Amino acid sequence: MKTVLLIAADHIRALLHHRLLVGVMLISVAITAIFSVSLTKIGSVTVRATEAQRKARNADSNAPITAEERQKQETIIQGMQTGFQAFFYETASFGGSLVALFIFSSAVASEIRLGTIRVTLSKPVSRLQYLAGKFLGGIAVMAAYAIVASLALVIFAQANELTMSPTMKFAPLLMFSRQLMLGSLAMLLSLFVHPFVASILAFFAGNGFYGTSNPLYYVLPSYSSFNVFGQMLKGTLLSGRNVLFLELYAADFVVLMLVLAWWRFRTKELV
Amino acid sequence: MDAIRTENLAKSYRSGWTGSKGAPALHGLNLEVKVGEVFGFLGPNGAGKTTSIHLILNLMSPSSGRAELFGRPATDAKVHRRVGYLPESVNLHTYYRGRGLLEFYAALGGMPRARRAGRIDELLRLVKLEDAGDKPVAKYSKGMLQRLGFAQALLHDPDLLILDEPTSNLDPVGRKEFRDILVELKRLGKTIFISSHVLSEVESVCDRVAILQKGELKRVGSLQELSAPKSTRLTLQSLPAALIEAVVAASAEVTFQRTQVVIKCPGESSSREVQQILHEGNVAVAKIETETESLEEIFFSTIQPPPLS
């Protein structure tokens, strides 16, 4: 286990020194912040415009707001709040997916390409320990990303006095699970093809891109159920039971991908 | 027990869409490297030296055959605790500083934390990097990387060192320092497997050598075993005039010096014939010196194709 942790720590260190990765992470955070602030502003303007319309319709602007009007206004505000949160989540999730694809597809493949794996595996490190360490390092970075994204969402919601949607409490966990699924598939594919190709294949392999009528729907990995953005827009409320099943599905998927990756990696030429 | 043992080790590189076409890189290599010996592994480019090393270290899977390190299969990672490896092109993690990288490898090698700092300082001094230990590896020159690579190979005091072209990036001073370290390691009883193009380097330290060509092991043995006697020099106090003609007739070259006579015989038969003449003439031979082939001559006579008839 100590060896696995050493490889994981080394992988984290490598990732933190990777300019492109840090760049993608910063851009992801920046885009999230810029769009969220802009949308909030647009939201405020819309609410003010609705209020102005109401006043214009009523000659007596001091007339109290009716119950029907209040309900209508609350529905608009609630819809917009849900939209902001979902958008915030989706942007962070998309950025995280890119980061996950990069981290996991290059974890082993780049070390083979650079030749650094040869010295590492000349030490008493088995290929299983190496692969496990690389995956664990990736998990740690993605967990940190999910925590930062969650904190940012809470701060964003607090700053804008938004009411947190109940579905949002599961969002970080589902985002994290989706990214690990993507990552494990990308890692497996990167042992067969170039990491960039592996990332593209992993990203588009999700059945979210196909309808349920397509037979591939039942074969390809399902990322769409982990998409809180879609769930919130549809008004679906995720129960704890739903989330548990999704997590079990994700765990199964990741373990299967890792077993296949190990099967491939144990005889892979490392030169 | 052998430090390295290979049995019919073969490797073909797959090519084509199905991977069915194979370019053979190594044909049934049978090699035994004894514990405590310094073994030179020679061959021209593309002979299969690095492929053999990769197979021995389990960085590649053989097409057939097997490799063992200290009696255990090469696939057993635990046996690597006894092995230090310096690859041909030293690619090290550039996001560390020199000392930090050695710390990482020491931890991977299972070295106790308390011993690490002292051992790292010792090795940085040995490879003359004591002033560069805190510099980022990304700023190291090729020669410095080679030295750092050598330090990581020695870090856990391995019983077997596998060195693939260890002096390729070193200047003459660095090569001399490296050779001195090898001599010291040999004195300490370490097994050293060294693949090199620098024949003089191998000749000065190796107990045995193997010569590989186009994936086939051509020759293996000690320098004495491999080299054919080139010429024999017989030193005498004097040579009676009556024998000179007979000696010259045996293809020998006679040189009269101030206090002695030197007879140079070009081959073994000439030497035997001259010694017979001297014996029959009751001439005492003061000294017999046999000049053998150098490693370079052995190497070229092995890899060069036979002349066309």
Task: List chain A residues with CB under 8 Å of B77.
Answer: 121, 124-127, 129
Task: Report pLDDT for A73.
Answer: 72
Task: Report pLDDT for A49.
Answer: 73
The pLDDT of A121-125, averaged and rounded, is 93
Structure tokens at A54: 């109401």
Task: List chain B residues with CB under 8 Å of A270.
Answer: 54, 59-60
Neighbours of A220 (CB within 10 A): 17
Q: Are B56 and B6 in contact (CB under 8 A)?
A: yes
Question: pLDDT per residue over A200-229, tens digit each?
Answer: 988 888 766 555 666 666 667 777 777 766
The strand order across the sheet containing B208-213 reads B83-86, B160-164, B191-195, B38-42, B208-213, B216-222
Q: Do A14 and B92 touch (CB under 8 A)?
A: no
Distance from CA of A102 to the nearest CA of B (A): 18
The pLDDT of B275-295, averaged and rounded, is 86
Model confidence at A29: pLDDT above 80: no
- Chain A's closest residue to B86, CA to CA, is A119
Domain residue limits, chain A:
2-265
Model confidence at A63: pLDDT above 70: no
d(CA B235, CA A238): 102
Model confidence at B6: pLDDT above 70: yes
Q: Backbone phi, then psi, for B219, in 5-degree steps?
A: -145, 150
Model confidence at A194: pLDDT above 90: yes
Task: Report pLDDT for A206.
Answer: 73
Q: Which domains does chain B have, with CATH numbers?
A: 2-225 (3.40.50.300), 229-292 (3.30.70.980)
How many beta-carbon contacts under 8 Å exist across A and B? 74
Interface of B with A in 96-135 (CB under 8 A): 96, 104-105, 107-110
Structure tokens at B127: 């490879």
Task: Report pLDDT for B239.
Answer: 87
Task: Report pLDDT for A229.
Answer: 66
Please classify residue A18 by burial: count the beta carbons closer than 10 Å to its beta carbon, then call 0-12 exposed, 13-18 middle and 19+ buried.
middle
The pLDDT of A61-81, averaged and rounded, is 71
Average pLDDT, chain A: 81
DSSP state of B37: -
**What is the enclosing helix (H) or strand (E) of B59?**
none
Q: Do B108 and A267 touch (CB under 8 A)?
A: no
Question: pLDDT per residue over A161-170, tens digit each?
Answer: 666 666 677 8
First to last CA, chain A: 26
Question: pLDDT per residue over A78-99, tens digit each?
Answer: 777 677 777 777 777 888 888 8
What angle do helix axes A195-204 and A171-190 make, rounded to 10 degrees?
Answer: 130
Task: List chain A residues with CB under 8 Å of B92.
Answer: 116, 119
Interface of B with A in 269-308 (CB under 8 A): none
d(CA A82, CA A165): 6
In this structure, of A28-32, B87-91, B126-130, B303-307, the range with the lowest mean pLDDT score is: B303-307
Model confidence at B309: pLDDT above 60: no
Structure tokens at A175: 């985002």
Model confidence at B58: pLDDT above 70: yes
